[in-house]
Amino acid sequence: MSGGEQLAQIRAGIDGLDRQIVALLGQREELVRRAGRLKADTAAVRAPARVEQVIGKVRALAAESGADADVVEATYRAMIAAFINLELDVHRGSD
């Protein structure tokens, strides 16, 4: 198998994973929206202690699975920031 064929297979695998990741993000979004409707105020939405709890958890999961913990943390911090913005909109009734 040539390098080009191998790269095509790798890209196809990444595309398949992206489909799964986006589907899971959609499921996470639904839960975030539900949570945003239940929280008492914006401080509860931002919940910095909860953010750090999640980061600690996913770093441990990364270590267990052999993933790079720094990459996982950076990904989660970006994702959490985006979901907090969404949840703030939901909480305010803007979405």
The DSSP output letter for 93 is T
Give the contacts of 79 (CB within 8 A, at least 6 positions apart).
25
Query: Which residue bears the tokens 């267990």?
Result: 64
Cα gap 50→60, rounded to integer Å: 15
What pLDDT is recorded for position 38?
Answer: 92
Q: pLDDT digits over 14-71, tens only?
A: 999 999 999 999 999 999 999 999 998 999 999 999 999 999 999 999 999 999 999 9
Q: Give CA torsion, residues 7, 9, 11, 12, to 10 deg.
A: 160
**CATH level 3 topology of 3-92:** Chorismate Mutase Domain, subunit A (1.20.59)
Confirm if 59 and 72 have CB atoms less than 8 A apart.
yes
The pTM (predicted TM-score) of the whole model is: 0.89
